[in-house]
Amino acid sequence: MTQDQIGPAPHPVPPVVGRRSPQPSVPAPGREPRPGLVRRLLDHPALILPRDFTLFLVGARTDAAIERTRAAHGARAAFEAAYTRSSDPWASATPRYRYQQRKYEQIMALLPDRQRFRSALDLGCGLGLLSQHLAGRCDAVLGIDVAAAALCHARTRAAGIPNLRFEQGDLLHLPTELDGRFDLVVVADTLYYLSPLGDDLLKALSARIADLLAPGGLCLLANHFFFTADADSRRSRRIHDAFAWSHRFSVRSEHRRAFFLATLLDRRDDACL
Ligand SMILES: C[S@@+](CC[C@H](N)C(=O)[O-])C[C@H]1O[C@@H](n2cnc3c(N)ncnc32)[C@H](O)[C@@H]1O
């Protein structure tokens, strides 16, 4: 019997005899039983288990392969090849690694409490794992990725989620029909793959993403961040700074987590376009 099944307990629990009253087996309404200290420590979002570090090695191997293929065949072919070689190139959905799942939960927790979104866009959605989380907070979610192979996996994984759909597209060439259609745009671990990632491109990108948002819309950026001396982390810092300095956005909050950086930005409606 699984935990979710309802029915009699397989072994009846003997009554507790003695002076101390037994713990009620059913918590009082509104009072969940508090997990033990060890469980709470293990569930702490900042805890990274040693095995989670192998996840970063898997990612580094994928990134190296993408670099090699990109040099010979271009960026899109490189991402297609990554998702053809593996159904989970960054081991984001592999249950043995908890880091990535927690990261999605932490990213979702950065969204304003209780706010529900009408229409969200997940740019560079990959397997659509974050898109699935978004589907719980949004009336409709669109995931866009440059790799058709990624979307094949994403659609299979999201079968049965009616408010989530995926389309193939390059975030550098998004159709203008999408403009103003979203009250939330999320871009996670995607922008640092753009190459060359110069200041002009970042400026154009922040303006393009602002165009996608409806007035009052929010943009949430999340990018891996180890420590300032690391070259990749410096690229993430540069991306977040470019959006923060854009006259199209104002920073609502910035968050350093193990091991990523997240910035929540408001589309500025007073900006002179
Ligand atoms: C590391 S994965 C991140 C996937 C997802 N955002 C997540 O957090 O699970 C990076 C994704 O960016 C996509 N990507 C890279 N360049 C892109 C572009 N120019 N337009 C759209 N997607 C792109 C890749 O295909 C890949 O799925």
Q: Closest Cα to atom 4, ligand 1: which residue?
A: 126
For ligand 1, the distance from its centroid to the CA atom of residue 145, given in whole angstroms, is 6
For ligand 1, the distance from its centroid to the CA atom of residue 189, given in whole angstroms, is 7
Across the range 244-268, mean pLDDT stands at 96
Residue 155 lies in a domain: yes
Residue 215 lies in a domain: yes
Q: Provide the pLDDT for residue 250.
A: 98
pLDDT tens per residue across span 30-82 = 455 666 666 555 555 556 667 777 888 899 999 999 999 999 999 999 999 99
- pLDDT of 26 above 80: no
More confident residue, 151 or 37: 151
> Do 259 and 225 touch, CB atoms closer than 8 A?
yes
Across the range 86-101, mean pLDDT stands at 93
Supply the mean pLDDT for the chain. 86
Q: Closest Cα to atom 10, ligand 1: which residue?
A: 190
Q: Provide the pLDDT for residue 227.
A: 85
Q: Provide the pLDDT for residue 261.
A: 97
Residue 6 lies in a domain: no
Cα dihedral sign for 203, 208, 213, 219?
negative
Residue from 171, 193, 195, 225 whose mutation best tests the ligand 1 pocket (most atoms within 8 A of CB): 193
**Coarse DSSP helix, strand, coil percentages of the chain, rounded to the nearest 5 percent:** 40, 20, 40
Q: Provide the pLDDT for residue 151.
A: 98
Residue 174 lies in a domain: yes
Q: Provide the pLDDT for residue 230.
A: 85
- Calpha distance 181→172 (Å, rounded): 17
Residue 146 lies in a domain: yes
Using CA atoms in the order 61, 62, 63, 64, what is the torsion angle rounded to 10 degrees? 50
Q: Closest Cα to atom 17, ligand 1: which residue?
A: 146
> Do 234 and 197 touch, CB atoms closer than 8 A?
no
Q: What percent of the chain has pLDDT over 70?
A: 81
- pLDDT of 23 above 50: no
Where residue 243 sits, what CATH number does that domain have?
A: 3.40.50.150
Q: Which range, 2-6, 54-58, 140-144, 233-237, has the best average confidence (pLDDT)?
A: 140-144
CB of 172 closer than 6 angstroms to any ligand 1 atom: yes
Give the three-state DSSP class for 256.
Answer: strand
Provide the pairing of β-strand 117-123 with 249-257.
unpaired
Q: Provide the pLDDT for residue 56.
A: 86
In ligand 1, the atom with minimum distance to the C-alpha of 75 is 16
CB of 80 closer than 6 angstroms to any ligand 1 atom: no
Q: Provide the pLDDT for residue 232.
A: 87
- Calpha distance 262→8 (Å, rounded): 46
In ligand 1, the atom with minimum distance to the C-alpha of 90 is 1
Q: Provide the pLDDT for residue 18.
A: 34
More confident residue, 162 or 46: 162
For ligand 1, the distance from its centroid to the CA atom of residue 128, given in whole angstroms, is 10
Q: Provide the pLDDT for residue 253.
A: 98
CB of 189 closer than 6 angstroms to any ligand 1 atom: yes
Q: How many domains does the chain have?
A: 1
Cα→Cα distances 271→85, 101, 143, 232, Å: 45, 36, 28, 31
Residue type, 187: V
Across the range 21-28, mean pLDDT stands at 42
pLDDT tens per residue across span 28-39 = 444 556 666 665
CB of 146 closer than 6 angstroms to any ligand 1 atom: yes
- pLDDT of 1 above 50: no
Q: Provide the pLDDT for residue 231.
A: 86
Domain hosting 250: range is: 113-267
Q: What percent of the chain has pLDDT over 90?
A: 72
Cα→Cα distances 188→124, 129, 198, Å: 7, 11, 19
Residue 64 lies in a domain: no
CB of 188 closer than 6 angstroms to any ligand 1 atom: yes
Residue 96 lies in a domain: no
Residue 42 lies in a domain: no
Q: Provide the pLDDT for residue 41.
A: 56
Q: Closest Cα to atom 26, ligand 1: which residue?
A: 126
Lowest average pLDDT, out of 99-103, 117-121, 171-175, goes to 99-103
- pLDDT of 251 above 80: yes
Give the three-state DSSP class for 117.
Answer: strand
CB of 124 closer than 6 angstroms to any ligand 1 atom: yes
